[in-house]
Amino acid sequence: MKARQVLDDCRKAHSLLEHEDDPQTFRILFVSALTLCRAVGHVLDKVDTKEDPRLKESVQRWWSELNSDKTKNAIFHNFIDQQRNSILKEYHFTHDDHAQAIIVLPSMESFSLGELLFCPIIDGKYAGEDCRDILYEAIQWWAEQLDRLEN
């Protein structure tokens, strides 16, 4: 499946994002990763179903299920699709790349993590979660979906 190649590229973008400390590069990598994450579905639908006609019916049924139960498929609707729309249509980011998490040790000493070590999503279903963690969940979700469709 060509969609697997897109997903592998998304994994690579996520890996690069995990270690990035420059805000502009982080933003560019996040846009890339989110775009690739959403592209998995487009390539699955537009490319893979044409190359493998047996897959077409399964993918059509899968898309129908995906859209009929938005709670079960929240990662797609409330993160992959929502983030892609927010970023690509408005260049609006729903994560805070300037947040500094405060860590308090048992000795009552506190220190803050630097920028980009914690980038929480500001609102919505995943508010308070690091955007990279949710991106990782989205990648795992796609891997499960592709496995399911291939079987």
pLDDT of residue 106: 53
pLDDT of residue 102: 40
Mean residue pLDDT of the chain comes to 86
Q: What is the share, in percent, of the chain residues with pLDDT greater than 90?
A: 56
Q: Give me the mean pLDDT over the 120-137 stretch.
A: 90
**pTM of the entire structure?**
0.85
Q: Give per-residue pLDDT as tens, 68-119.
A: 988 899 999 999 999 998 888 888 877 645 544 444 445 555 444 445 577 8
User: Can you give the residue ranges of every domain in the chain?
Assistant: 2-150
Q: Which residues pair with 95 in a beta bridge?
A: 121
Pair 6, 36: CB distance under 8 Å: yes
Q: What is the share, in percent, of the chain residues with pLDDT greater than 70?
A: 85
Query: Would you call 37 helix, strand, or coil by DSSP?
Result: helix
Long-range contacts for 116-125 (Cβ within 8 Å, ≥24 apart)?
116/20, 116/21, 116/22, 116/23, 116/26, 119/26, 119/95, 120/95, 120/96, 121/94, 121/95, 122/94, 122/95, 122/96, 123/94, 124/78, 124/82, 124/94, 125/74, 125/78, 125/79
